Amino acid sequence: MALAAGMFAVAPWMIDAAPYEATMGLVYKIYFFHMPSAWMFLTAAIVAGVASFRLLFLKRPRADHWVTAAAELAVVFGAFTLVTGPLWARKAWGVWWVWDARLTSSLMLFMIFVAYLLLRKYGGPGSDKLGAGLALFGMANVPFIYVSVNYWRTFHPPTSVVPTLPVAMGIPLWYCVTAFTLLFVILLRLRARLEHQRARVEALYLAEDEA
């Protein structure tokens, strides 16, 4: 826990420091945040899917806490990705949004996790398994969305070319990826811990009532 707290204290500093090492124009700096958060978004989705599998098929009730934690992080990092993306695209492509395969599948994945949170909040008792089903289906759905949008888009190719990444940007970028991964792992662990403890408190209350 002390280590986690220490890492948590360092992570914001790393994220803060990293972009200033770049010598690129101001607009491109957002990419240092955009790409790592997009990766963490996908990682969170995969963690949620795997934890859902464990909950549903291996009957591990504690896996639910990981699904919740990962789903919340997927929404946080997904929102961050979807906000920083258009900001960059406006300058690079001249439009806020294109119906590109990646953009659309990210948006749909984001929607699925928002649906998950809504379900958990308003679904009432038993929504943990429902949510796990949703997360599992969501993960299986990503390749389909990608293929369909990819093919659909080939009829209407984007008007500009996606700039390729220069090598000079590599070091700060990887620095940021590390920082984001650290942040993601810490947040995931803290959130899952909170859920574990919440479940324990609930079990204690129940025991108290019965006594």
Partner 1 sequence: MNAFARIVWFVVKKDLTVEVRSLEILSTTMFFAVTVVLMFSFGLVVDGRPLNDVAAAILWVAIAFSGTLALGRTFERERHNDTLRALLLAPADRPALYVGKLLGILLLLGLVELVLVPLIGLLFNAPVIEQAVPLLLLVGAGTLGFAAVGTLFAAMLVRARSRDVLLPIMLYPMTVPVMIAGVRGTAALFQPTPDAAVAQFWLSLLAAFDVVFVILALWTFEPVMTD
Which residues would be at the binding site for partner 1 (CB under 8 A)? 56-57, 59, 104, 108, 111-112, 115, 118-119, 122-127, 129-130, 132-134, 136-138, 140-141, 144-145, 147-149, 151-152
Whose Cβ is closer to partner 1: residue 12's or residue 143's? 143
- If the CB atoms of residues 1 and 122 are measured against partner 1, the closer one turns out to be 122
Q: Choose between 127 and 181: whose C-beta lies nearer to partner 1.
A: 127
CA distance 9 to 19: 18
Q: Minimal distance in Å, beta carbon 8 to partner 1?
A: 32
CA distance 19 to 32: 7
- CB of 70: closest distance to partner 1 in angstroms? 17
- Those residues whose C-beta lies under 8 Å from the C-beta of residue 53, and which sit 6 or more positions away, are 136
CA distance 38 to 116: 19
CB of 2 to partner 1, least distance (A): 38
Residues in the chain, how many?
Answer: 211
* CA gap 53, 185 in Å, rounded: 20
Name the minimum Å distance from CB 141 to partner 1: 6
